[in-house]
Chain A
Amino acid sequence: MSDNKPVVEIKDLYAGYLPGINIINGADLVANKGELIGIIGPNGAGKSTLLKSMFGMVKVRGGEINLNGEDITGLKANQLVSRGVGFVPQTNNVFQSLTIEENLQMGLYQRPKHYEERLEFVTSIFAELGKRLKQRAGSLSGGERQMVAMSRALMMDPAVLLLDEPSAGLSPARQDEAFIRVSEINKAGVTTIMVEQNARRCLQICDRGYVLDQGKDAYTGTGRDLLNDPKVIGLYLGTLGT
């Protein structure tokens, strides 16, 4: 489902929060157009940090990040949004006091003229939100909020969608639903990079996966290959879910 044109290309990236301590240590990543990429790895491997560094929330100390061939390293989050990077944080990802409609409008405040057209696209994936536009986001359940947050990021027609643990804190049925929705978003043509702790589920729907360890990618491959790789099973997946 991808045609090998890189949308995101990360080369030898170094990034971190505290002076002198790098969380990301020479990570490389490529996301081609239309691909669904999964990032998994042990606790503290730097998965969320890698995602945040793509969205300008963590200081990049070395290496580069390219979006459609343009260098976007070190740009601020608002500049990245206008260039087409959509980010969905793990928690606090909706404006609780605003309605669903207002949340969606916030998603494309940079070009409000396209609202109708984008709303149509978003509600083609999240039909139930279209029927509840006037409801306050604060009154929604965790799974519904996750959907509003993804929809908001999709409103600005992102070149790449970054998702930080979309299934976190959801009950099993809602988790599966979240993964199915992510897959649908990707099938609609959106290049997607997802960080997940629920590694097995993530790899099941991913085109390609990266296993991150100590800020560097340890293994890469198609989702299927990683799922069946004995080393990846031993170190990261465990055998409990088989």
Chain B
Amino acid sequence: MSGNANPSTTPVKSTGLHIGEPAPGVAKKDPILVADGIVRQFGGLTAVNVDHVEIPRNAITALIGPNGAGKTTFFNLLTGFDQPNEGTWSFNGKSLNGVPSFKVARMGLIRTFQLTKALGLLTVMDNMKLGNTGQRGEKLLSSLIPALWKKQDSEIEVKAMELLKRFKLDAKHEDFAASLSGGQRKLLEMARALMTDPTLVMLDEPMAGVNPALTQSLLDHILDLKTQGMTVLFVEHDMHMVRHIADWVIVMAEGKVVAEGAPDEVMKNPAVIDAYLGSHQDVDLGAVTGRISLPESK
């Protein structure tokens, strides 16, 4: 394949995030999120069983693993959407045990969902505005006096429009969210999450169903979040994306953390290739299936 076109430059990776050898549960120099002995069982099935894991601050961490490895369940536990059977976890040094999801969000830990949860009967713009926190018009008394919140409201609208432009949804801002396609809903949800100016953003398969060219421009946006001082943790099956933007990769399988490290190192790990990446990772499937005789020239 032709590799000449190169619009987005190779991003600068954060290194030296860990202390000692990279291994499952390795300590980080400056962890933002720490989880200890998290166990979640559904009946007889142990979905998550994580001994110890730390997420480095101001870096982009990818959480990968085969289907059913417990990645989404782990996300749910960390963000208060589900409670573990055992374990402790903290965000910015504050324990999150028993903290409900809306309070977790107010503390600055925002997540998106694999299956989108846009409010279909609100317009795209209203969905965005709803994401903004600390709105003056939310209080009963001040809501009666528009002068108190009109200015803030229009500021929020400007901010929302900027994000929508970035996510190529600006032309749709008056449409109902229900009229968006699956991929566009995904984008709306990510844009809405950013309305809150979070400290840690957790994205559950952000690029699944988003077309490749748009993916690329969104990756630059995610990299931007890092330069602005945010921390990103994401689940993704697109290994090109993981390799391109992740500073650190955590691999889960059968509920456990099985490997951790820098992306290139982790992807060379034979156990990871065997369980997850497969043997055709960097091969043209046309050649694998015998549809072309030789891979295209580089």
Shortest B106–chain A CB gap in Å is: 31
Question: Within the complex, which residue of A41, A48, A187, A228 is in contact with B211, where a contact is CB–CB below 8 Å?
Answer: A41
Identify whether the interface residues of B are mostly helix, strand, loop, or mixed: loop
Q: A170-B237, A197-B183 are in contact. Are A183 and B212 (CB under 8 A)?
A: no
Q: Which of B90-98, B126-134, B144-152, B214-222 contacts A (4 or more CB under 8 A)?
A: B214-222
Q: Does A89 contact B (CB under 8 A)?
A: no
Name the contact of B184 in the complex, choosing from A44, A174, A235 (C-beta under 8 A).
Answer: A44
Provide the A228-241 mask, 1 if CB < 8 A to any CB of B, else 0. 10100111111111
Chain A interface extent, by class: 35 or more
Inside 8 A of A82's CB, which chain B residues have their CB?
Answer: none
What residues of A have a CB within 8 angstroms of the CB of B291 in the complex?
Answer: 183, 204-205
- Quick check: B212 and A176 within 8 Å, CB to CB? no
Q: Are B212 and A171 in contact (CB under 8 A)?
A: no
- Secondary structure of the A side of the interface? helix
Residue with the highest number of chain B CB atoms closer than 10 Å, among A223, A234, A238: A238
Q: Which of A42, A199, A235 has the most CB of B within 10 A?
A: A42
- Indicate if the CB atoms of A176 and B278 lie closer than 8 Å: yes
Interface residues of A in 104-143 (CB under 8 A from B): 141-143
Q: Is the CB of A240 within 8 A of B289?
A: no
Least Cβ distance of A30 to chain B in Å? 20
Query: CB distance A239 to B289 under 8 Å?
Result: no
> Which residues of B214-241 are within 8 A (CB) of A?
214-216, 219, 237, 239-241
Interface residues on B, range: 35 or more
Chain A residues with CB under 8 Å of B8's CB are: 239
Given A169-B67, A176-B278: A43 and B7 within 8 A (CB)? no
Q: Is B100 an interface residue (CB 8 A)?
A: no
Chain A residues within 8 Å of B187, by CB: 43
**With the chains together, A228 CA to B5 CA distance in Å?**
11
Q: Mark A137-152, 1 if CB is under 8 A from B, else 0.
A: 0000111000000000
Q: Give, as a whole number of angstroms, the nearest-CB distance from A242 to chain B.
A: 4
* From A173, A175, A187, A199, contact of B212 by CB (8 A): A199
Known: A205-B291, A240-B244. A228 touches B296 (CB 8 A): yes
Question: Knowing A172-B277, A204-B285 touch, does A238 contact B292 (C-beta < 8 A)?
Answer: no
B270 at the binding interface (Cβ < 8 Å): no
- Residues in B155-214 with C-beta less than 8 Å from chain A: 179-184, 186-187, 205, 208-214
Q: Which of A141, A228, A240 contacts B240 (CB 8 A)?
A: A240
Residue of A nearest to B5 (CB): A239
Knowing that A170-B237, A240-B215, A240-B244 touch, tell me 7 more A-B residue pairs with CB under 8 angstroms.
A45-B181, A173-B66, A176-B280, A176-B288, A180-B285, A197-B183, A197-B209
5 A–B pairs (Cβ distance < 8 Å), ordered by A: A142-B67, A174-B67, A228-B2, A240-B215, A242-B3
